[in-house]
Structure 1
């Protein structure tokens, strides 16, 4: 976005860098206002918000392997169309990104169903955090190389290269992925039996009713959803607007912008993996109860980003300090991977995929609102926009922490214990 438009942020902000402004690209540059940019950047969430609940239900019926592989390919294919769509107008770009959002929403939601069959209890933290940390490693790689691609090859090549890589990855997925351990040809019988005896089998959606009324009355489920709302609010702003923030504050060239934007995600990926190992270690040694583990990691994952984002506003006296606080704001959010993200598996393992769909939907709504509202704030109040954005983000996180500490649970709920006794 930084090199696709004439301007990405408000003017008059302090410049901590002596570097020259971004180099003029030989590729098309569009006259999109910050408000339009906010809509374009958040449009992927418009599509993604349509999928979590139905996909969470359908992933208990149909092959997750086929669902994830086919929609990953579809999203990558539409990435190849973005440069052409940009020439046709912002409305066409929005349509392409909505379709991508639908496809990526399927991938994000359906993949959770894999761990119901593949993750033994004492390995849930590390396996889930390793897989979900891909959502952090991806932005690191993309932001790192995108600046160089834009500078040397032009911004359209970003979509062509990553679109092609996504299509190739989808083909590899179809070759190596399996829905169930028992179908994997390279595993020993002993390992298959160990996994089968260690996991709680998920509820099968086919032909049975979901306990909707009980779910609506479940306070633990509501606080998990509220935490997702806060997490996605923060994470969307950090993913979507960090390049814009860096460009508006530092006025660095596009290569440096990509490098600086990527650094926080490298540390977020490392923190995500380490937090999974820490959670499993604490649980295996019985140092804390499962509920205490969930509350601890969820608090760290929401409260620390709120704290460091405020430090970013008031204690950032130099270029290097700003970068340090940006890294800490992003990286510490990874602790949530072993809090709210695993909690639905604790309270209702039979309905895990469906509940992940519901909580992801609520989270995506938070991300959609955050992305759109941030664009509006930047457009209407250029002087103090980042203060408002980070204060609002911190407030959301603090509210999420308070409610989670009060109402969260980690025991299987009555309505999820035995599907044969479940009633609407």
Structure 2
């Protein structure tokens, strides 16, 4: 598209990925803040409701007298659905175009979100069903993102592009908390559901128009500089030249996945453990920070939205900053890739765990709203640097299976099923000590994850990471050579004398952009040595 020629396409893909995750993850926080306003459990309606009606022009006396267990099931249902589709989502993103998987999952979630206000008025069980379906849909998003960046990220930019996109998962809750507090106060609690659903529909249209499976599917749409970049990127890595052929035979790619090697790899388990502890902390801050503020400090709905959003804005900034610092260190070879991943992950999560432990003591002994928000903001900011550790790690270990590895790591979101019960049990009285225990448990789990990652993590590409070996690649190149020779006729093709295809007579529309590297490989395979390892550091 000529209108976006001044912006390199991979940056547009990163921005739209950021926006999609920003909106999608915002749905969770929007629902959480709305529940703080509308759902009154265990007789909590009094003071908070009065504070709300005294400050908001759009007074709405609608309340839902749901029990703590019923509210817990709403959040638990989402966690169950989210876990179920993590690994299948990774496999799906490896077998099908990842950009389509991501788009479909995101748009479906927005459509379901629009039905929640109606379901809330009918029965809480219907809300549980909708949240379960949303979890099933959104569970494939992060694994699909890894599949997208397998195609769209040059080696020296994969950390930056993927993490800028994933930072939308942190920015989304911040924007949602601010927006939800304002919308609920001035327009009414139902409007936030419709605003997000409409925004999601617009995003889906933009994604379909702009994003393709890979840059090699849209070479004519790229600028000259970006086209040369991706062509050079292909030539530098012979193994990576051919992984995109899996689109021609997706079933073969799925059969070739070495699940045994993946599941017995300690570096993969290190990513899983880090993802597990991260999911626990993120769900705590996303779903329960507003409830913590209400129980301990009793602010009004606008204050809840404002205060709850601050940690996420800080995290968004540090995720992007950490990605740029990590890419710079790796590009200049300041540290090895393994050291970089361990350093960013352990420092980020280690600092966060220490501060959360301090917040627990502060909540119990000397509660301070300003101090609590400040400390949690700092802890979340520190955790943003850890994204350059475990979240970027799957692309290091196995670029072809990055979506599957991320799906495995997100299985750690099983904490989303357990957390509502744990938090509900510890905070059943709504007192400060119960919330202090929540922070202590969280800090302990996160610190255990830091130790495990420090011991077992790796930044090296694993020996099982290529789903095709040299013989399979040669078979593919021979097959394609024969096809072109049969279809076109004699001559030379792209510098490949043995193919007998004329550069002038070949039909350009017939040659798939993703298969051209195989032609190049067919003519040069004797001059180049295939290697299983592409580790740069």
Normalising by structure 2, what TM-score? Answer: 0.73
Q: Deviations over 1:237-283 (max 9, x none)?
A: 11111111111122111011101111111111001100000101111
- Identify the match of residue 385 of structure 2 among 335, 344, 348: 335
Counterpart position of 1:398? 447
For residues 66-111 of structure 1, give each alpha carbon's deviation from its aligned partner in whole angstroms, at most 9, with x where no partner exists.
2222221111111110001101111100101111111111222212
> Are 1:377 and 2:426 counterparts?
yes
Could you tell me which runs of 5 or more consecutive residues in structure 2 were left unpaired when the two chains were aligned: 1-34, 472-537
DSSP 3-state at the match of 2:36: coil
Number of residue equivalences = 416
Quick one: distance in 2 between partners of 1:253 and 1:194? 56
Shift of the 177–264 alpha-carbon distance from structure 1 to 2, 3 Å rule, reads same
Q: Secondary structure at the match of 1:109?
A: helix
Residue number in structure 2 paired with 1:367: 416
Structure-2 change in CA distance of 1:160 and 1:417 (3 Å): closer
d(CA) in 1 for partners of 2:113, 2:311 = 24
Q: Which residue of 1 aligns with 2:115?
A: 81
Scaled by the length of structure 1, what TM-score is found?
0.91
| Structure 1 gaps, min length 5 | none
The C-alpha deviation readout for 1:150-187, integer Å capped at 9, x for no partner, is 11111111111111111211111111111101223133
Q: 1:135 aligns with which of 169, 190, 199?
A: 169
Q: Would you say 1:223 and 2:265 are equivalent positions? A: no
2:344 maps to 297
Among 194, 203, 206, the alignment partner of 2:251 is 206
What is the RMSD of the two structures over their aligned residues, measured on CA atoms? 2.5
Answer yes or no: is the 8 Å Cα contact 2:154–2:230 preserved in 1: no
Report whether the alignment pairs 1:93 with 2:123.
no
Deviation at 1:218, TM superposition (A): 1.2
| RCO higher in structure (CA 8 A, sep ≥6) | 1
Q: Output the CA distance in 2 between the equivalents of 1:72 and 1:9.
A: 36
Tell me if 1:149 matches 2:183.
yes
2:222 match: 186
Determine the structure 2 residue equivalent to 1:161: 195
- Give the match for residue 531 of structure 2: none
What pairs up with 1:6-405 in 2 under 5 angstroms?
6-7=40-41, 21-23=51-53, 25-184=59-218, 185-188=221-224, 189-197=227-235, 201=240, 202=243, 204=246, 206-207=251-252, 208-315=255-362, 317=366, 318-361=368-411, 363-379=412-428, 382=431, 384-405=433-454
CA-CA distance at 1:137 after TM superposition? 1.1
Conservation of the 8 A alpha-carbon contact between 2:274 and 2:450: yes
- Contact 2:163 2:387 (C-alpha < 8 Å) held by counterparts: yes
Give CA-to-partner distance per residue, 1:296-318, whole Å, 9 cap, x none: 11112321111111222234653
Which moves more between the two structures, 207-216 or 372-381?
Answer: 372-381
Question: What is the deviation of 1:146?
Answer: 0.6
Q: Is the 8 A contact 1:9 1:244 kept in 2?
A: no
